[in-house]
Structure 1
Amino acid sequence: MKTFIKYYALAITLILTSFQGISQEKDSKSELDTYPFAVADQVPAFPGCEQLSGKAMKDCTVEKITNHVNKNFNTALGKQLKIEGTTRIVVQFKIDKDGSITEVRSRSLADKANVRETLQTEANRVVSSLPKMQPGQKDGKDIAIMYSLPIAFAVPEEDKKENKKG
Structure 2
Amino acid sequence: MKNLNTSLILSFCLSLLSLSGFCQEKEGSFEEDAIPFAVVDEAPAYPGCENLKGDQLKDCTVEKITNHVNTNFNTGLGKKLNIEGRTRIIVQFKIDENGEVHKVRSRSLADDSEKREALQNEANRVIKNLPKMKPAQMKGKNVAIMYSSPIEFAVPEKESKKG
TM range (shorter): 0.7 to 0.9
How far has the Cα of 1:72 moved from its partner? 0.3
1:105 correspondence with 2:105: yes
Output the CA distance in 1 between the equivalents of 2:26 and 2:155: 38
Distance 2:81 2:108 in 1: 14
- The runs of at least 4 aligned residues of structure 1 exceeding 6 Å deviation read none
2:16 to 19, 25, 44: 19
The higher-RCO structure (CA 8 Å, 6+ apart) is: 2
CA distance in 1, matches of 2:138, 2:83: 43
1:93 Cα offset (Å): 0.2
Is 1:78 aligned to residue 74 of structure 2? no
CA distance in 2, matches of 1:98, 1:133: 8
Q: What TM-score results when the alignment is normalised by the length of structure 2?
A: 0.86
Query: Within 5 A, what are the aligned runs for 1:10-159?
Result: 10-16=8-14, 19-20=16-17, 24=24, 28-29=28-29, 31-156=31-156
Contact 1:41 1:137 in 2 (8 A): yes
Q: Distance in 2 between matches of 1:130 and 1:27?
A: 23
2:15 aligned with 1:8:
no
1-side partners of 2:56 and 2:32: how far apart?
A: 29
TM-aligned CA deviation for residue 26 of structure 1: 6.7
Identity percentage over the alignment? 61
CA–CA distance in structure 1, aligned partners of residues 80 and 27 of structure 2: 39
Superimposed CA distance per residue, residues 28-69 of structure 1 (whole angstroms, 9 cap, x where no aligned partner):
345432112243110111000010000101111111111110
Extract unaligned runs of 5+ from structure 2: none
Aligned length: 155
CA contact (8 A) 2:44 2:134 kept: yes
SS class of match (1:8): coil
Gap regions ≥5 residues in structure 1: 1-6
Kept in 2: contact 1:11–1:153 (CA 8 A): yes
Deviations 1:51-100 (A, max 9, x none): 00001011111111111100000000000000011000000000000000
